[in-house]
Amino acid sequence: MRRWFRGLRGRVTLFFRKSSSALISALGFALVIAGISLAQCRDYATLAAVLTGIGGSLLAAAIVFFLSPANDEFYQKFLALGITDAFPSRNAIEYGFWVQWLRRAQSNCTLFGIAHGEWCRDREFPDALADRLRHNVGVKMFFLNPNKPVAETRAKEDAVRKMKETIQNSIRFMWKLRSGLEEAPQRRLKLYVYDATPTCGATWIDSSMLVAHYLAGFPNLTSPALIVDWVSSGAGTPDLYSVYKENIEKIEKDFSTEITDTNVNEFAPSPV
C-alpha cells in the first residue's frame, strides 16, 4: 500500500509539472498573439513589443522545461535517491579528481576500500591529506584485513596484483605518514582493518560519496561507480547516501579493528 501511495504521489507531481508547462505555453502563445494584433496599431506599438517579448520568453521557457530531463519521471527518481553522477567503471573517472575532491573536505573524510593502492601511489595524496587533517577534518581509512579468508578470496578474483602484499604495503605507508604528523592531526587520522565481505569501496567526503561496486571475479578498477549526495526525504524513503552511510557505520562498529601501535605489525609486519 505504501509503495502504491509513493507511486501515486510521483504521478501526481509529474502531472502538475506537465500541466504547469502547458499553462505557461498557453499564456506565452496568447501574449504573442496579442502583441502581434496590437502591433497593427501605432498607438500600441510599445505595448505590443512588450507583450510579444514576454510571450516569447514564456514559450522558450516552456520548451526548455519540456525538453529538460527534469520533466522525466525516472530522472526525478534518480534525484530522489541522491544520484548525481554515474560511471561505467572506476577507471573512467579522471585521475586527478580524487585528490581535488579530498582537498575540498570540510568536516569528515572516510576512505573505505580494500587496499587503497591508488591513493598511496598518488604523489599529491600525502600533502592533501595532511592539509585537511591540519584543518580539523577527521579522516578514517578502512582496509580489508589481510590476515582473513575474505582477503584470500578477493585476491583470487583480483589476480592482477598481490592483494595481501598490496594491503600490507598500504598500511605501512599510511602508518608512516601518520607517524610523521603533529600530535593533533595524528589523532584525527584513524586507520582500521575490517573482516566483512568486500562488496564496494567508498570515498565519503562531508555529505557526498563516490561508491564503487566490486564485481566478483573482476579487478577492482572495473567497478561501476556512483556519486551520491545526501537528500532530505520526508516520505521515509532512504536515499542511497543514507544506505551506504549506515552500512559503513555498521562495519566500523561490528567488523572493524582500529590499527594501533600495539597491533600494527600484526596486519603489516616489516618486510624481511
Q: What is the DSSP letter of 195?
A: -
Q: Based on the domain organization, do 34 and 109 belong to the same domain?
A: no
Domain-ending residue, one of 49, 71, 93 = 71
User: Is the pLDDT at 31 greater than 90, yes or no?
Assistant: no
162 lies in the same domain as 61: no
CATH of residue 200's domain is 3.30.870.10
Amino acid 144: pLDDT: 95
pLDDT at 113 > cutoff 90: yes
Residue 181 near residue 189 (C-beta atoms within 8 A) = yes
Q: What is the mean pLDDT of the chain?
A: 79
Higher pLDDT, 166 or 160: 166
Same domain, 133 and 175: yes
Give domain status of residue 272, yes or no.
Answer: no
Mean pLDDT of 12-26: 53
The verdict on residue 39 lying in a domain is: yes
% of the chain surpassing 90 pLDDT: 42
pLDDT at 64 over 60: no
Listed in sequence order, the residues at least 6 apart from 126 whose beta carbon sits closer than 8 Å to its beta carbon are 177
> Is 55 found in the same domain as 93?
no
Rounded CA-CA distance 272/270 in Å is 6
Give pLDDT tens digits for 173-208.
999 999 999 999 999 999 999 999 888 899 999 999
- The pLDDT score that the predictor gives to residue 6 is 38
**pLDDT at residue 100, as a whole number:** 93
Residue 37 lies in a domain: yes
Final residue belonging to a domain, choices 71, 95, 126: 71
| Grid cell for residue 67 | 525538453
Residue 209: what pLDDT? 94
Same domain, 98 and 59: no
Same-domain pairing of 63 and 134: no
Q: Are 126 and 214 found together in one domain?
A: yes
In a domain, 142, yes or no: yes
Q: How far is CA 48 from CA 32, 37, 156, in A?
A: 9, 8, 75
Number of domains in the chain: 2
Answer whether residue 7 shows pLDDT above 50: no
Taking 60 as the threshold, does the pLDDT of residue 17 lie above it?
no
pLDDT digits (tens, 9 = 90+) for 49-63: 665 666 666 556 555
Same domain, 181 and 100: yes
Residues 164 and 239 placed together within one structural domain of the fold: yes
> What's the chain's Rg over C-alpha atoms?
27
> Domain boundary residue among 14, 42, 71?
71
For residue 111, tell me if it sits in a domain.
Answer: yes
The arithmetic mean of pLDDT across residues 111-134, rounded, is 95
Amino acid in the structure at residue 78: F
> Helices (H) and strands (E) in the chain — how many of each?
11, 8
Does residue 77 sit within a domain? Answer: no
- Is residue 104 predicted with pLDDT exceeding 90? yes
Distance, in Å, from the CA atom of 253 to the CA atom of 269, rounded to the nearest integer, reads: 25
Residue 111 structural domain: 83-267
Note whether 146 and 111 are same-domain residues: yes
User: Predicted confidence band at 216 (pLDDT cuts at 50, 70, 90)?
Assistant: confident
User: What is the pLDDT at residue 135?
Assistant: 96
- Cα distance between residue 200 and residue 211, in whole Å: 7
Residue 13 and residue 87 in one domain? no
Q: Are residues 128 and 158 in the same domain?
A: yes
Q: Is residue 76 part of a domain?
A: no
CB 175 within 8 A of CB 128: no
- pLDDT level of residue 5 (50, 70, 90 thresholds): very low
Whole-structure pTM over 0.75, yes or no?
A: no
